[in-house]
Amino acid sequence: MEKFIRNVDYLSKAIGHTFAWTVLVLTAGTCYEVFRRYVLNDPTSWAFDMSYILYGSLFLMAGAYTLSKNAHVRGDFLYRRWSPATQGKVDLALYFIFYLPGVLALVFSGFFYGWDSARIQEVSVNSPIGVPIWPLKLIIFVAGVSLLLQGFAEMCRCVIAIRNNEWPARDDDVVELEVSLQQQFGKKEGGAS
């Protein structure tokens, strides 16, 4: 079970890191469009489509990576006071009741939505040059599959937490700034004692 969790986490990390590069492309494209529009008074015909396609892709494909890092927003004022076993039981129940039905709907509807769009080679109606949008619609299905796999890994984490009353460790490839500062402050304070 732990090997499965590690493999799915690694896949989610690879996908998340790959799609993170779209931020640079999106930033460069937007800066280019702003320059063309406001300095040269010659706007591009593709910038709007590029922005929503890249942002949509980034948003969709970052979901599984965010889930693997336990970084989704959670109202946990009660949750954090519970034992890991209780947290695991509640999380597992919520994954079955809410997460799986929603993600399965995303997978199945995303497949047919993307397939129909790819079949007709759908292009944007917002662009005079006809930017293809069928790849973005296919990404909905791919994002659903990655979320489904990561959800199964999270459910395995819940089972381990229930069994051991301790959450399995997560890979820390990215640390939030406040956590990093707390770690540095704690080390300095601990070293001075």
At residue 193, the pLDDT reads 42
At residue 105, the pLDDT reads 96
Q: What angle do CA 96, 97, 100 make, to 5 degrees?
A: 55
Question: pTM for this one?
Answer: 0.83
The pLDDT averaged over each successive group of 10 residues in the chain (193 residues) is: 92 93 92 93 86 90 92 82 93 96 96 95 84 91 97 96 92 74 69 46
DSSP string covering 112-150:
HHHHHHHHTT-B-SS-TT--B-HHHHHHHHHHHHHHHHH
Q: Give the span between the Cα atoms of 60 and 155, in whole angstroms.
A: 21
At residue 192, the pLDDT reads 47
At residue 7, the pLDDT reads 92
Residue pair 141/110 in contact (Cβ under 8 Å)? The answer is yes
| Gap between the terminal Cα atoms of the chain | 41
Q: Give the span between the Cα atoms of 112 and 117, in whole angstroms.
A: 8
Residue pair 85/162 in contact (Cβ under 8 Å)? The answer is yes
Instruction: Count Cβ atoms below 10 Å from residue 144 Cβ, excluding itself.
Output: 24
Instruction: Provide the token pair at 173.
Output: 């490839």
Domain residue spans of the chain: 2-169
Residue pair 6/14 in contact (Cβ under 8 Å)? The answer is no
At residue 189, the pLDDT reads 52
Q: Give the span between the Cα atoms of 158 and 61, in whole angstroms.
A: 23
Q: What angle do CA 127, 129, 133 make, to 5 degrees?
A: 60
